[in-house]
Structure 1
Amino acid sequence: MPADESISLAQMRAVFYSAVVCDALDALGYPHQSPRVPLSPLTTTGVLIGRCKTTLWADMAHPDPSPYELELQAVDTCQPDDVIIAAAGGTFRSGLWGELLSTAARRTGCVGAIVDGAVRDRAKMTQMGFPIWARGTSLYDSKDRNRVIDIDVPVEIDGVRFVPGDLVVADIDGVVVIPRAVEAEVVRHAWNKVHDENIVRQAIADGMTATAAFKKYGVL
């Protein structure tokens, strides 16, 4: 296993998945790092791994004097490997994210978006292969319905805290965030568990019972 510092995002993307990261967090005493609300991949398959770029959203019921201002600022200030986190309280008042924001975000190096609410332009985002996790879709524009009220601040989704720069992992099973304070330990633990699971899988395939494999390796 490479040292923690040498495990790149590319290496993580090749072998990590959300459940093994949750297991690593559990082992280190962080059992509530994955929102229980349904955040599902709508445009791609596979795993999304990157750094949190946070946006905080609110519902509106009046004309917006500065439409799209902060969401555009958030997109334009993304760094390579960022993942937009849209903390919007699960709103379906509008489609918060769409094709044009995806195009702009990709230009800055953003690798995906996780939206606690609805998105739109799903077919076009699927065609361009931009990874989106969300609760569902809404055809309505966000103008005068929702707006970003802050960026680059800690936000919460279903009581789980997402801090700018935290490592986030998402796949078909869900979304999990790794606090910076324990990132090195979690990455090392998850890396080792992937390796151990490969050994157990092969042992069972070769004829060992699940009970015997767990007794020998302590991995399930």
Structure 2
Amino acid sequence: MEHIIQSFKNIDTSTISDALDKLGIEGQCLGIRSNSVQWKIAGRAFTVKYGPVDIQKGTVGDFIDDVNPGEVVVIDNQGRLDCTVWGDIMTGVAKRKGVAGTVIDGVSRDTNRSLELDYPVFSANRYMRTGKDRVQVDAVGEAVSIANIRVRQGDIVVGDADGVVVIPKEFEEKVLAVATEIEAAEDQIREATEKGMSLKEARQYFNYHSLQTKGV
């Protein structure tokens, strides 16, 4: 695993979100949630875009053979809640290949199988109806939208119990630096309050109110 990926995996999405806010970057995927609060993922995006099925009936999931170990499958199903694009067969293949996890702007199914295999799936919801003959893969490796957040192949995706954030690859070092700074300040505030300092004093002393403020 890349060092920067491991570093992001060790930081909560809430802290990364604060860093994105401070830098003025939109990267929080509203409404995309984990199917288990125990899961934490971090990896580079492997992007897939779905669209309505063509009259010839297109493919729904063969792209999984091309995903590299450690990558996060990021699927843009245009937020559709009426049919799924990820189920138990995809989960099994992804788990065997060492894929880090899957993020879907849409629904997933066969949730018990992903829990059984401990394969992380983040989606807008869960629904059992198949996407076969309803949707098809229109593009792989192109920019996609996840809850109105642009994700490109190779961007860093981090997910945990609080949701999913996307870090543009051009800003990954800067976001990591700011997130690390915020995390250190919050640790100092926790330690100070545990030793008896008031929360107001601790926040003032460690400049809490500037941590998430853009440009401060």
Distance 2:89 2:46 in 1: 18
Matches within 5 A, 1:197-216: 197-216=186-205
Matches within 5 A, 1:33-182: 33-36=27-30, 38-43=31-36, 45-60=38-53, 62=55, 64=57, 66-68=58-60, 71-73=61-63, 75-182=64-171
- Tell me which amino acid in the other structure corresponds to 2:72: V
Tell me by how many angstroms 1:208 deviates. Answer: 0.9
- Assess, with a 3 A threshold, how the Cα gap between structure 1 residues 12 and 106 changes in structure 2: closer, same or farther: same
Distance 2:198 2:36 in 1: 38
Tell me by how many angstroms 1:197 deviates. Answer: 1.3
2:13 to 15, 18, 34: 18
CA RMSD after TM alignment:
1.8
Please, what TM-score do these two structures have when normalized by structure 1? 0.87
In the alignment, is the contact (CA less than 8 A) between 2:37 and 2:160 conserved in 1?
no
Please, what TM-score do these two structures have when normalized by structure 2? 0.89
Tell me by how many angstroms 1:181 deviates. Answer: 1.0
The one-character-per-residue Cα deviations of 1:168-207 (angstroms, maximum 9, x if unpaired) are 1112222110111111011111122222211111111111
Distance 1:130 1:113 in 2: 8
Does the residue aligned with 2:43 lie in a helix, a strand or coil?
Answer: strand
Does the residue aligned with 1:19 lie in a helix, a strand or coil?
Answer: helix
Unaligned runs of 5+ in 2: 210-216
Tell me by how many angstroms 1:29 deviates. Answer: 2.1
Partner in structure 2 of residue 3 of structure 1: none
In the alignment, is the contact (CA less than 8 A) between 1:43 and 1:129 conserved in 2?
no
In the alignment, is the contact (CA less than 8 A) between 1:43 and 1:130 conserved in 2?
no
- Tell me which amino acid in the other structure corresponds to 2:59: P
Does the residue aligned with 1:194 lie in a helix, a strand or coil?
Answer: helix
Tell me by how many angstroms 1:7 deviates. Answer: 4.1
1:196 aligns with 2:208: no
Does the residue aligned with 2:119 lie in a helix, a strand or coil?
Answer: coil
- Assess, with a 3 A threshold, how the Cα gap between structure 1 residues 62 and 138 changes in structure 2: closer, same or farther: farther
Unaligned runs of 5+ in 1: 1-5
Q: Which runs of structure 1 show a deviation greater than 6 angstroms over 4 or more consecutive aligned residues?
A: none
Partner in structure 1 of residue 176 of structure 2: 187
In the alignment, is the contact (CA less than 8 A) between 1:93 and 1:145 conserved in 2?
no
- Tell me which amino acid in the other structure corresponds to 1:205: E
In the alignment, is the contact (CA less than 8 A) between 2:106 and 2:123 conserved in 1?
yes
- Tell me which amino acid in the other structure corresponds to 1:72: D
In the alignment, is the contact (CA less than 8 A) between 1:44 and 1:130 conserved in 2?
no
Distance 1:115 1:126 in 2: 16
Distance 1:159 1:41 in 2: 18
Partner in structure 2 of residue 9 of structure 1: 5
Distance 2:176 2:161 in 1: 20
